[in-house]
Amino acid sequence: MNYQGIIFDLDGVLCSTDEYHYQAWKGLADSLGLAFDRQKNNRLRGVSRMASLDIVLEDYPEPLAEAEKLALAEQKNESYKRLLTRMSPADLPEAVKSTLLALRARGLKLAIGSSSKNTPFILRQLGLDGFFDAVSDGNHISRSKPDPEVFLKAAQMLGLKPVDCLVVEDAVAGAEAGHRGGMDVACVGDAAQAKAGEYNLASVSGLLEIV
């Protein structure tokens, strides 16, 4: 298959902010007297902020008003953003950087397809601000993965048909989103272990053998 564009999920594919997410959600859960561990945190991967909050609040003794939930989500996000300030270009693995440059040199269009509303900030911290041809993120969508909206918007922003794009994901929900959007998916991490993609890779650099 001759792909013209590659759409990357951000967290877990190009960089790892998992630990920062965990610390921020754990801090919120602790403040509410709720149990939260890494096993529960794994259920939040690839899920929108509000859907993640619903999982965190599963054992909360009473229903919360929407305004209260929005305030809690914002509290978590502010904590997360404070942690993100620790990120730098050193957090972009050298193998990822060299792969991105090699794909660009081959003439492929490159995009981000991430549910995170913090995508622009993370890209700046990594030194990737302005690198991608398109950035579709949580600021552009109303439905989170496994809905394909974020990837379909990325393809549209690239000026490409979905079938001409390859999605790169580490979460099973993200791989499902790519497939729902009519795209092939290359998986790394957990999604690769689950054999969720057409290509299940040991690392992002494996893309160079596909395209």
Q: How many Å is the Cα radius of gyration of the chain?
A: 17
Q: What is the pLDDT of residue 17?
A: 87
Residues 6+ apart with CB under 8 A from 102: 208
| Dihedral (CA of 63, 66, 67, 70) sign | positive
Q: Which of 12, 81, 93, 72 minimizes the C-alpha distance to 47?
A: 12
pLDDT at 144 (0 to 100): 84
pLDDT above 70 coverage of the chain, percent: 100
Residue 10 contacts residue 119 (beta carbons within 8 Å): yes
Tens of pLDDT, residue by residue over 19-73, are 899 999 999 999 999 999 999 998 887 677 899 999 999 999 999 999 999 999 9
Q: What's the rounded Cα separation, in Å, for the pair 102 and 105?
A: 5
**144: Cβ contacts below 8 Å, ≥ 6 apart:** 47, 48, 51, 115, 138, 150
pLDDT in tens, 112-138: 999 888 999 999 999 999 999 999 999
* CA-to-CA separations, 91 to 97, 133, 182, in angstroms, rounded: 10, 21, 32
Catalytic residues: 9, 11
Q: What domains are there in the chain, each with its CATH number?
A: 5-16+89-209 (3.40.50.1000), 18-84 (1.10.150.240)
pLDDT of 86 reads 93
Residue type, 94: E
